[in-house]
Chains A and B, each alone.
Chain A
C-alpha cells in the first residue's frame, strides 16, 4: 500500500475537540489513587490555557467499574449516564470532557447505542425521568481529558520550562505511551489516531521534545480486567499482563511511562512494586522502577510546578531519577510533608524497590 494512501486512511481517525466551555466528569480511580491529578488538570486548563471548565459537585461515578465487572445491567449505567448529561444540560454546557478512560468508553458506547437504537434512548429518558424528574440534551462534543491537552500541546509546549531532554547529555528522553483500551479499541473513530496508531499521547511526546518508544507489546492491555482486579484472588491476571508489557519495553530502557487512563497509570505503577517485592526484579536503573505519570502530571512537571505539590510522591515508583534527568530541582525533605510543611512519618522502605 502506498504511503500516501495509508496517510489518507489515518486522516479518518481525527476527531473534533471543542475549543472551550466544558462540563468536567471526574474519575473514581484518579481521585483516589492520584488525588492531586484532577486538580492539576483543571489548573492547567483554566490557568495556563484560560479555558472555562465547570466542576459540578452533583455528579457521581458513571458506575463503569461495576458494569464492566458484571454486577450492573446496561439499563442502569445508561440511566446514570443520562443523569450526568442532565446535570450538564442544567449547568448550561454542551461540551463534555471525561477524566476516566473507562468512563469515556461508557459515554461513547451509550451514545452510539442510542444513535442506532432510538427506542433504547427513549426508555433511558423515561427511566431517568421516572427516577429523578430530569431531562437532558445529548452533548454536542464529548472528549477524553487527554484529548484537550493534545489539542493544546503546542501551546503548552511554548510555556514549558523543561523539555523531555536529558539535561546532562542533551539527548531526548525515551518515553513509553500507554493508551487505555477503552479510549479507542471499542470505537476507533473516537480516538485520535484510532486503535492501531493512537497519537493522543505520542503527540505530546513529539511536541515536548521526547522520543517515542515503539516496543512489541505497546498496544497490549495493562491488565486491569475489572473483576479480575477487584477480587483479591484473581489479581494474577492483572500483574501478569502488566509484566508482559514491562518485559517487552525493558530492552529499550525507557526513562518514563505516560498513560491516559487512571487505571493503567495505577496498575503500571503498583505492579512494578509488586514484581520487585515478589521476584526482586526492577525495570529502571539502580533498583528504581520506571516512573509512571499521567499526561497532566508530565505537563505540570514540565511547566515548572513543584513535583510534591502536584502529588508525584503518591506514586509507588519513585520519580527522582526522572527529575534528575530533566534537571528539575526538588527538595527531598518536603516530599512527605503534610499541610503547611507539617512533618509526617515517612513511608516504610520496600524490601527491594527504591522509593527515594
Chain B
C-alpha cells in the first residue's frame, strides 16, 4: 500500500465512510452535486476502493473531490452503510495536506473559503458576519439586505439585537477571551496549520499566474472567486 493510502486510512472519516461499496449508484441518484455538475460519488468510492496509489493521486489533484456539497443525503441512502461524503471529507483533507489541492481549478478556490468563512471565525467568532457581506460579493442578497445592512445601526437596534455590544444576544461582539480560546484551539488541533498550507500553496500558484497576492480580497482571490482563472 502506498504512502497516500496509509495517510488516508489514518482519517476516521475515511474509515467510517468506506465499508464495502457494491456500486449500486443510489448515492449518485440522490446527490444534488451529481444533478448539476460532472460529479459521480459512486465513481469516487469505486476509485478509492481499488487502493491504487496513482488513481488516488489523480483524484486528489482533480476537480472531482470539490464538487460535493456535503449535504450527506448519501449517508441516509447507502444500503451498505458507506458514506461517500465522509470519504470526500478525508480526500479533501489529504489534498490540502499534500498541496495537491492547488493542482485543480476547484481545489485552488479553497483559498476563497479560507479567507472568508475561515478567517471570519478567528476575527469575529462567527463564520458569517454582516459587516463582511456586501451586495457586491453577494448580489443574490438583493435590495432588502442592502437596506438592512446599510442601515444596520438602526435596523439591528429595532430588532433588539446586541450588534456592536459586549453583552449576550444576537450579533454581539465576541469577547477577546473567546477569540483567544479559538486561536489556541486552532493552533493545538491543526486548524492554523491547515490555513497556512492553503495560503502557502496558493501563493506559489498566484506567482505562477502573475497575480497580486497580498492577502484578503487581493487580485488572486478575485480571480478565483469570480471563476476567471484561465484554463491551462
Our verdict on whether A and B bind, yes or no, reads yes
Q: Say yes or no for B54: interface residue by CB 8 A criterion.
A: no
Find out whether the CB atom of B182 lies under 8 angstroms from the CB atom of A75.
no
Find out whether the CB atom of A35 lies under 8 angstroms from the CB atom of B156.
yes
Measured between C-beta atoms, what is the minimum distance from B229 to chain A in Å? 9
Find out whether the CB atom of A230 lies under 8 angstroms from the CB atom of B32.
no
Q: A58-B175, A342-B154, A347-B143 are in contact. Are A71 and B182 (CB under 8 A)?
A: no
Q: Say yes or no for B160: interface residue by CB 8 A criterion.
A: yes
Please indicate the chain B residues that have their CB under 8 angstroms from the CB of A75 in the complex.
189-191
Find out whether the CB atom of A131 lies under 8 angstroms from the CB atom of B187.
yes
Measured between C-beta atoms, what is the minimum distance from B193 to chain A in Å? 9
Contact string, A68-112, partner B, CB cutoff 8 A, digits 1/0? 111111111011100100000000000000000000010000000
Specify which of B158, B175, B195, B225 is in contact with A232 (CB 8 Å cutoff): B225
Find out whether the CB atom of B113 lies under 8 angstroms from the CB atom of A60.
no
CA distance A64 to B185 in the complex (A): 15
Q: Say yes or no for B230: interface residue by CB 8 A criterion.
A: no
Main secondary structure of the interface of B (DSSP, over half): helix
Q: Which interface residue of B118, B121, B174 has the most chain A CB atoms within 10 A?
A: B121
Q: Say yes or no for B127: interface residue by CB 8 A criterion.
A: yes
A contact residues, range = 35 or more
Q: Which interface residue of A26, A28, A342 has the most chain B CB atoms within 10 A?
A: A28
Find out whether the CB atom of A339 lies under 8 angstroms from the CB atom of B158.
yes
Find out whether the CB atom of A225 lies under 8 angstroms from the CB atom of B112.
no
Q: A35-B170, A339-B154 are in contact. Are A227 and B66 (CB under 8 A)?
A: yes
Specify which of B155, B160, B177, B191 is in contact with A72 (CB 8 Å cutoff): B191
Contact string, B8-27, partner A, CB cutoff 8 A, digits 1/0? 00011100000000000000
Please indicate the chain B residues that have their CB under 8 angstroms from the CB of A185 in the complex.
71-73, 75-76
Q: Say yes or no for A57: interface residue by CB 8 A criterion.
A: yes
Q: Say yes or no for B62: interface residue by CB 8 A criterion.
A: no
Q: Say yes or no for A165: interface residue by CB 8 A criterion.
A: no
CA distance A303 to B187 in the complex (A): 47
Q: Say yes or no for A49: interface residue by CB 8 A criterion.
A: no
Measured between C-beta atoms, what is the minimum distance from B133 to chain A in Å? 7
Interface residues of B in 171-186 (CB under 8 A from A): 171-172, 174-175, 177-179, 181-182, 184-186
Q: A113-B12, A132-B184 are in contact. Are A60 and B110 (CB under 8 A)?
A: no
Specify which of A58, A227, A271, A350 is in contact with B178 (CB 8 Å cutoff): A58
Find out whether the CB atom of B71 lies under 8 angstroms from the CB atom of A66.
no
Q: Can you list 5 pairs linking A and B with CB atoms under 8 Å apart?
A: A66-B113, A66-B118, A127-B189, A131-B181, A195-B76
Seed contacts A228-B33, A347-B144; 11 additional CB < 8 Å A-B pairs: A28-B127, A35-B130, A35-B155, A58-B177, A70-B92, A186-B72, A232-B227, A234-B109, A240-B35, A314-B148, A338-B155
Contact residues of B with A, CB < 8 Å?
11-13, 32-33, 35-37, 66, 69-73, 75-76, 89, 92-93, 96, 109-110, 112-114, 116-118, 121, 125-130, 133, 137-138, 140-148, 151, 154-161, 163, 166-172, 174-175, 177-179, 181-182, 184-191, 194-195, 198, 224-228
